[in-house]
Amino acid sequence: MSIFSHRRLHATLASDASGSLAVSGAALVFIEATGVEQAGRISPTDVGLWDDATQEAIARTLRDIRSFSDTPFAIQLAHAGRKASCRQPWFGGGQLSLEDGGWQTYAPSPVPFDPKDRAPQELDQAGLTRIIEAFVQAARRSVDLGIDAIELHGAHGYLLHEFLSPLSNQRQDSYGGSLENRMRFALEVFQAVYEEVAGKVPVGVRISASDWVDGGWDVQQSIRLSQALKERGAAFIHVSSGGLSQAQQIKNEPGYQLPFAQAIKHAVDVPVIGVGLITDPQMAESVVASGQADLVGVARGMLYDARWPWHAAAELGAQIDASPQFWRSQPSRLKTLFTNNIS
């Protein structure tokens, strides 16, 4: 199965040193939320790509993985903005104080995500230029690493999303106010990255299609953004939602974000990745077969079950590639599950 024409599935991860997802049968594995500068990390332990040391750390892992797997890898380049400097969720989350190892955060406006947080520093023109260059440098390093695709993280209340939403962007200059102005910074980041890597790797964007708050970012604005990204060469749009405001009202249920993906797919001629509590293979198959999205992203489900694509292929009566060391593991009732099993 191939990523576009035969409904092969896609997986995301934050860290996979063991390479388990690289031998899962996923068509594409994303290294998620990779900070383009130290201040852009969500937590102190986040992966980053801003200097030679961070590049070599990723390179070591990729060299190990590529010794036993040819699964393509993409990287999600990110800046957490005002949601940076946080404890890991399993340690309670929340913003780290400066005394506990936290750092100054940055945003379009000095409005914290949580009223209890330190106010972020409003980015001036020098700060905007610094961050654009950080994205460009990280993209260049991604190409040097042999990464197969780049995704810019414009979702979940992080910096690019903060500029897009009127709830977090209260600027009075050319980066705030109108939709055109609020889209300006995200489009400048995309344009700079695209020009740096054009012809080398595809570049897409992950967006939150709705803030789930009245008066916030919504699907119609997301369509306008997606159209502008397509005009500038975007290879795909990865459609999620939420994460910007504590006032969000989300009804979590399987497929709850798919209507956003479908609306963007119908309005913009660009491949769309759909996500949202999709854990059932039949549901994943129907998403693509019905035209709601071109690809399906499976994240938490595959962190729980790193062989999810194998099990999905078996349930759907399909076949899937597997590394030779796994060929003898297929059950007797599934002797043709692995397409490259020569035994």
Structural domain boundaries, residue 83? 15-305
Torsion over CA of 227, 232, 237 and 240, rounded to 10 degrees? -70
On the question of pLDDT at 15 being above 70, the answer is no
Pairwise CA distance, residues 260 & 238, whole Å: 10
Looking at the structure, do residues 139 and 79 belong to the same domain, yes or no? yes
Are the CB atoms for 76 and 206 separated by under 8 Å?
yes
**Which of 106, 158, 175, 194 is the catalytic position?**
158
Looking at the structure, do residues 174 and 68 belong to the same domain, yes or no? yes
The residues facing 178 across adjacent strands are none
Best CA proximity match to 276, nearest among 242, 303, 308, 245:
242
Looking at the structure, do residues 238 and 271 belong to the same domain, yes or no? yes
The DSSP H or E segment spanning 309 is helix 308-316
Q: What is the chain's Cα-based Rg? A: 20
pLDDT tens digits, 50-87: 999 999 999 999 999 999 899 999 999 999 999 999 99
On the question of pLDDT at 97 being above 70, the answer is yes
What percent of the chain clears pLDDT 70, i.e. is strictly above it?
Answer: 94
pLDDT tens digits, 197-241: 999 999 999 999 999 999 999 999 999 999 999 999 999 999 999
Best CA proximity match to 210, nearest among 182, 240, 232, 236:
240
The residues facing 37 across adjacent strands are none
On the question of pLDDT at 154 being above 50, the answer is yes
Q: Which residues contact 43 (CB under 8 A, 6 or more apart)?
A: 86, 87, 88
Q: For residue 122, what are the CA distances in angstroms to 99, 135, 156, 159, 172?
A: 22, 19, 19, 11, 12
Q: What is the pLDDT of residue 3?
A: 33
Q: What is the pLDDT of residue 10?
A: 39
Segment 154-181 mean pLDDT: 98
pLDDT tens digits, 172-189: 999 999 999 999 999 999
E strands, the chain, are 10-13, 28-35, 73-78, 106-107, 121-122, 149-154, 203-208, 237-240, 272-274, 295-298
Pairwise CA distance, residues 166 & 198, whole Å: 31
Average pLDDT over the chain, rounded to whole?
92
Looking at the structure, do residues 198 and 79 belong to the same domain, yes or no? yes
| Residue 5 domain flag | no
The residues facing 106 across adjacent strands are 121
Q: What token pair was written down for 288?
A: 């693509």
φ/ψ (deg, to 5) at 185 = -65, -45
Of the listed ranges 115-119, 264-268, 277-281, 338-342, the least confidently predicted one is 338-342
Of the listed ranges 7-16, 91-100, 232-241, the least confidently predicted one is 7-16
Q: What is the pLDDT of residue 341?
A: 63
158 is catalytic: yes
The residues facing 86 across adjacent strands are 95
Looking at the structure, do residues 246 and 144 belong to the same domain, yes or no? yes
Q: Which residues contact 183 (CB under 8 A, 6 or more apart)?
A: 163, 164, 224, 225, 228
Pairwise CA distance, residues 297 & 291, whole Å: 15
φ/ψ (deg, to 5) at 229 = -65, -40
| Residue 311 domain flag | no
Q: What is the pLDDT of residue 325?
A: 86
Pairwise CA distance, residues 121 & 127, whole Å: 10
Are the CB atoms for 77 and 147 separated by under 8 Å?
no
On the question of pLDDT at 330 being above 50, the answer is yes
On the question of pLDDT at 295 being above 60, the answer is yes
What percent of the chain clears pLDDT 90, i.e. is strictly above it?
Answer: 83
On the question of pLDDT at 8 being above 50, the answer is no
Pairwise CA distance, residues 206 & 108, whole Å: 19
| Residue 224 domain flag | yes
Q: What is the pLDDT of residue 116?
A: 95
Looking at the structure, do residues 148 and 204 belong to the same domain, yes or no? yes
Looking at the structure, do residues 249 and 322 belong to the same domain, yes or no? no
| Residue 4 domain flag | no
| Residue 2 domain flag | no
Q: What is the DSSP-derived secondary structure letter of residue 21?
A: G
Looking at the structure, do residues 260 and 322 belong to the same domain, yes or no? no
Q: What is the DSSP-derived secondary structure letter of residue 271?
A: -
| Residue 7 domain flag | no
Looking at the structure, do residues 299 and 321 belong to the same domain, yes or no? no
φ/ψ (deg, to 5) at 54 = -70, -35
On the question of pLDDT at 9 being above 70, the answer is no
Looking at the structure, do residues 229 and 297 belong to the same domain, yes or no? yes
Looking at the structure, do residues 212 and 335 belong to the same domain, yes or no? no
| Residue 10 domain flag | no
